[in-house]
Amino acid sequence: MRVAFLGLGIMGRSMAANLVKAGHEVSVWNRTSGKDKEVEGARTASSPADAAKGVEAVWMCVSDTKAAESVLFGPNGVSDSLAEGMIIADSSTISPAATLRFAERVKAKGVAYVDAPMTGSKIAAAAGSLIFMVGGNDAALARLQPLFQAMGKQVFHMGETGKGQATKLAMNLQIAMIFEGFAEALTLASKLGVDIEKMLPLIQASMVRSGVVEYKAPFILQRDFSPNFPLRLMLKDIRLALDAAKESRVRLPGLEAVEEVYDVAAEEGQGDLDYAATLMLLEKWAGVEVKAAAKAS
């Protein structure tokens, strides 16, 4: 297929590269240019409009709702190159309400809109094993199937347009709260003198075992907070979930408390670290000194 891929960040660059490897004709664009924002085998476009000329599908993976709107409808945006029969797929995590507005705007030009946020990590993006949660009509999803197969291992069709984003907010709510519980447990245990390296196998052998803990534990032990998923983006998703909850008159008291932790961590300069760096804030508040053993690989 002829595909425009817009947004070459931690996830997007690998996703675009996998489309090229699968034999698709790919044009790429990123807000910031440079060699690290190019994809071998893909055409580097000068703008979203340039990338989208003559393609069958436009795939986005940008940071937030404002960025998605700018890429779609701003100067030299995708809307300048829209043609009947095209499909826009958005793997950004943005507002479900905004997704519906964007879909309505392009529908007038005969363009289908699919929201396709994903779960995984930069490792899964590189391996082409992402899991997508998708909102859109069956016909559009069928046409996009070769692209999903190149980038992921599973696709969950959650319903009409907007339901993919709604599902993603509910998923990230759980990730944030599961990790918060894990980080608070480690902090308390450390304060009470428990050896964390001994505790981690116990956690994974017990009822509280989780994929979040399994994935993050090795990084915690190495004190490696380089970004797999930046804290600032998790904070953005937490706020999107709280906004959606407010619109729907749903109380999320636990997530409101977690948001405060992320707010402070971001204020203290941890926004570009992995969201697991919130552990360092909890340790600071508790006066926990990390032992050398906890730094071992």
CB-CB contact of 134 with 164 (8 Å) = yes
Residue with tokens 């490897």: 21
CB-CB contact of 257 with 291 (8 Å) = no
H helices present in the chain, as ranges: 12-21, 48-52, 65-73, 96-107, 122-127, 138-151, 163-191, 196-205, 211-222, 231-247, 253-265, 278-286
CB-CB contact of 3 with 55 (8 Å) = yes
Q: Which are the contacts of 291, defined by CB distance < 8 A and separation ≥ 6?
A: none
Q: Across-strand partners of 112?
A: 87
Catalytic (active-site) positions? 168
160 alpha carbon, distance to own chain's centre: 20
